[in-house]
Amino acid sequence: MNHKRPIIAATAFFSLILLYLPALAVGYFSINNARYGLAWRGFTLEWYTKLFHDQYIIEATVNSLILALVSTAISTILGTALAIGLYRAPWSPKTHRFFDLLINLPVVVPDIIMAVALAMAFRILRLLSEAFEMGMLTLIIGHVTFQISFVALIVKSRLESLGHETDEAAMDLYASRFFHFRRVTLPLIMPGVVAGGLLAFTLSIDDFIISFFTHGPDSITLPIYIYASVKRGLTPEIHALSTLLLIFTAVIVVIVERATRKNE
């Protein structure tokens, strides 16, 4: 068995290289003084400076943050309520399995299918109201539709790990439903709520496909801006922007991982 360990270690190392080499390449070009070509021309932060003076990038960043914050707040509230309702309501086993399937569907269904479905739904809704013209509202609704499932799954797993003992103890002590939720349930599930909210925020910031199908001319997000810029040709500013997004996403993932580990 020992002779297999170097092979396993080499395979793991090679896999990590394939996984992180593109990210390292983007970081390399973002600090390279050469605007074109692969040769190293010296260290520079000029591309980051130009990035923060680009009005279009600033607008896309503001749109992305507004979209992520609003959709995360809505999906966290709805996802938490959904998880509590599924866990505590006296559903039959068959009904419970059906609801579990509905929650998992947005997680496993390809984004392109959800994006096309949302675009068609908004097209129909526009016949009823002009409020559903493609813009920030449709973006928020589109993101909430897939964020809810991730939040609900995480919070539900937290509830299942707690069991029903605390509920029974609270009822034995004549606690009202609101008091029980505010002083017992919510503090206990808060790590799961935070982890679900952070994951939803990360998914919103990085999403491209659903945003591409539901955005309007005045609601360009960072992923859409990067896509449009790549079509015109890669520039060091795009490398700098991509590097900042990678770092930001990595920080959020670490926070989620630590919150989940504390939850467990």
Look at residue 144 and tell me if it is in a domain: yes
Task: Flag the least confident range among 95-99, 133-137, 163-167, 196-200.
Answer: 163-167
Interval 125-153 mean pLDDT:
91
Quickly state the pLDDT bin for 211 (edges 50, 70, 90).
very high
Q: What percent of the chain has pLDDT over 90?
A: 23
Interval 133-152 mean pLDDT:
92
Look at residue 27 and tell me if it is in a domain: no
Look at residue 78 and tell me if it is in a domain: yes
Q: What is the pLDDT of residue 99?
A: 85
Q: What is the pLDDT of residue 78?
A: 94
Look at residue 243 and tell me if it is in a domain: yes
Look at residue 29 and tell me if it is in a domain: no
Q: What is the pLDDT of residue 147?
A: 93
Structural domain boundaries, residue 137: 45-263
Interval 14-31 mean pLDDT:
83
Domain containing residue 254: CATH number: 1.10.3720.10
Q: What is the pLDDT of residue 68?
A: 92
More confident residue, 165 or 97: 97
Interval 221-232 mean pLDDT:
83
Look at residue 229 and tell me if it is in a domain: yes
Interval 79-99 mean pLDDT:
84
pLDDT digits over 154-190, tens only?
A: 998 888 877 767 766 767 666 677 777 777 778 888 8
Look at residue 35 and tell me if it is in a domain: no
Look at the chain and report how many structural domains it folds into: 1
Quickly state the pLDDT bin for 260 (edges 50, 70, 90).
low
Residue found by looking up tokens 């309702």 in the block: 85
Quickly state the pLDDT bin for 152 (edges 50, 70, 90).
very high
Q: What is the pLDDT of residue 172?
A: 65
In whole numbers, what is the pLDDT of the chain averaged over residues? Answer: 83
Look at residue 210 and tell me if it is in a domain: yes
